[in-house]
Amino acid sequence: MSRQRSRDLPAHVHTFVVGAGFGGLGLAIKLDEAGERDFLVAERGSDVGGTWRDNTDPGAACDVPSQLYSFSFAPNKDWSRSFSPQPEIQRYLQRVAEESGVLDRFRFGTEVEEMRWDEHDQVWRIRTSRGELTSDVVVSAAGALSDPKLPDIDGIDSFAGETFHSARWPADSDLTGKRVAVIGTGASSIQIVPAIADRVAHLDVYQRTAPWVTPRRDRAYSTLERLALRHVPGLQRAYRTGIYWGREALVPGFVGPRAFSYPAQRMAREHIRKQVDDPELREKVTPDYRIGCKRILISNDYYPTLGRDHVDLVTDPITKVTPSAIVTADGTEREVDVLVVATGFHTTDLPIAERVHGRGGVSLAEHFGEVGMQAYKGSTVHGFPNLFFIVGPNTGLGHSSMVFMIESQIAYTVDAHRRMRESGVAAVEPTAEAQRAWNDDLQRRMRQTVWSAGGCASWYLDEHGRNVTLWPRTTFAFRRLTAQFDPAAYVAAHADDEQEVPA
Ligand code: NAP
């Protein structure tokens, strides 16, 4: 579904929200509920959904059970299975948006080009692809996994066949009878590979690092279950709560002593033993680092697909791409018709950061360049008054639902609106000290986690090896810490006249 570009931009709004995925949509609904109705959501795409609108690659589905991967305030009675496929999640978000009554304040096809804090007037000056406006507050809900990262491989631009990133899958692409190569073996690739194997003539899967893969405990709900979830009062909530605590029980495997991850690693090894007969393939797919260091993947059909006659797992490094083939370090040249690039997203250098300029005209990218990507409570940044993040630095998860984290940050942001309105404060920013203390604590906690000590490189870490993406504690700790806006950590944002925000 594509929504009309609709209506001009107003000259000014109180709150300007970037992005209409789970974050932007949920925030719009909760701001509206709180009586903060003067907001606008700018979305560069043509519909709500964010990552679930963009990632239409074959096999795309959620790795977190649907009962938990949905808004707590908008339960879906219609999930067809325990782990939802992408089209079902996208339909869910469209339905929530349509029933919310807030879509009149969404502007689709509107890309944010630049946002500058005007210290004199205490407003954000915003330039979009459809015109300019000002706002008192900006909330970036632009997503952490939204801008594709393309590999820097010699000659890749010279490839003459069809080529696309996993997150930009062309609706009209037909792989039937073609020789296809997939670069990368992350969460996207391992869903794509089994989904396209039946229709292609030949499939080469290029692996740089083997992922740990565990069984996918996915199944369709029976008619009885669906009826019960729909009609038995409290059942769906109890189910969701059960899944939530089951997921939280996994946290020690990531942040605790090594022994806590043994059961998961044993399960993953057993999965390989059961699904891969060929000793050579077994060796290739067995990782040499601790489970959890990279995102743990779940699939029942990835390994069996790699074992098929017309599918090859290539582990020799790629040295170059020619107009018709991929060449590996051993000198082998493999001809391909279609090149699928499943190499992930920009994660440690938020692309929106280039477009945001705070006090003194400093861009967020420059600021992050100096101190690393960091924020206070993953939500606000010193030097950038009245800028809030939904899914900001160090709010990602390796074990549970991002929607839970998103709802925590929404509550924090809505409460900040309430406090500012009640106290008459025009602008807030966290103190440098509060931000430093928050990040020192985070990085101290990171040291013993599997992400830092597990022996792998991953998209969780920046170029200095700092984990700037994940939350290293339970999600209920984050919920508690963001339950209320905390004025003591903030000052009114006058550069030369810093004032305490009244509590
Ligand atoms: P990803 O996890 O970053 O995986 C990228 C893959 O490409 C890795 O195997 C990486 O190898 C490889 N790669 C990158 N650059 C390369 C190069 N120059 N040459 C060869 N290989 C290269 O990306 P993703 O699979 O799109 O997943 C990203 C995240 O999105 C996931 O971690 C997850 O959070 C989310 N996601 C979730 C789902 C789901 O819920 N089912 C599905 C898709 C994505 P290395 O490992 O060696 O770096």
* Residue 344 Cα: closest atom of ligand 1: 23
Work out the pLDDT band at 2, boundaries 50, 70, 90: low
What digits encode the pLDDT tens for the residues 155-206?
999 999 999 999 999 999 999 999 999 999 999 999 999 999 999 999 999 9
Q: What is the model's pTM?
A: 0.95
What digits encode the pLDDT tens for the residues 66-110?
999 999 999 999 999 999 999 999 999 999 999 999 999 999 999
Among residues 151, 149, 187, 154, the alpha carbon closest in space to that of 168 is found at 149
Distance 370 CA to ligand 1 centre (A): 27
* Residue 457 Cα: closest atom of ligand 1: 48
Distance 294 CA to ligand 1 centre (A): 9
Nearest CA to ligand 1 atom 37: 187
How many CA within 13 A on the CB side of residue 395? 30
Q: Which of 183, 343, 463 to mutate to test the pocket of ligand 1 (most atoms within 8 A of CB)?
A: 343
By the 8 A CB rule, do 443 and 468 touch? Answer: no
* Residue 295 Cα: closest atom of ligand 1: 32
From CA 166, how far away is CA 486, in angstroms rounded? 40
Q: State the pLDDT at residue 144.
A: 86
Q: Which helix (H) or strand (E) holds 246?
A: helix 235-248
Q: What radius of gyration do the chain's Cα atoms show?
A: 23
Nearest CA to ligand 1 atom 5: 343
Q: State the pLDDT at residue 358.
A: 97
Mean pLDDT of the chain: 95
Give CA angle at 299 (297, 302), nearest 5°. 105
Please give all residues whose beta carbon lies within 6 A of any atom in ligand 1, as ranges.
Answer: 61-63, 145, 151, 153, 166, 183-189, 191, 206, 208-209, 295, 318, 342-345, 459
- Residue 494 pLDDT exceeds 80: no
Distance 398 CA to ligand 1 centre (A): 14
By the 8 A CB rule, do 487 and 416 touch? Answer: no
- Residue 351 pLDDT exceeds 90: no
Distance 149 CA to ligand 1 centre (A): 9
* Residue 152 Cα: closest atom of ligand 1: 18
What digits encode the pLDDT tens for the residues 297-350?
999 999 999 999 999 999 999 999 999 999 999 999 999 999 999 999 988 778
Distance 211 CA to ligand 1 centre (A): 9
Distance 287 CA to ligand 1 centre (A): 15
Q: State the pLDDT at residue 425.
A: 92
Distance 477 CA to ligand 1 centre (A): 28
By the 8 A CB rule, do 61 and 85 touch? Answer: yes
Q: Which of 63, 188, 296, 348 to mutate to test the pocket of ligand 1 (most atoms within 8 A of CB)?
A: 188
Give me the mean pLDDT over the 454-466 stretch. Answer: 93
> Domains of the chain (ranges plus CATH)?
12-63+86-147+347-494 (3.50.50.60), 156-220+250-341 (3.50.50.60)
What digits encode the pLDDT tens for the residues 252-309?
999 999 989 999 999 999 999 999 999 999 999 999 999 999 999 999 999 999 999 9
Distance 36 CA to ligand 1 centre (A): 38
Give me the mean pLDDT over the 31-60 stretch. Answer: 97
Buried (b) or exposed (e) across 279-293, using 16+ Cβ within 10 A?
eebbeebebebbbbb
Q: State the pLDDT at residue 124.
A: 98
Q: State the pLDDT at residue 350.
A: 82
Give me the mean pLDDT over the 445-460 stretch. Answer: 95
Q: State the pLDDT at residue 147.
A: 87
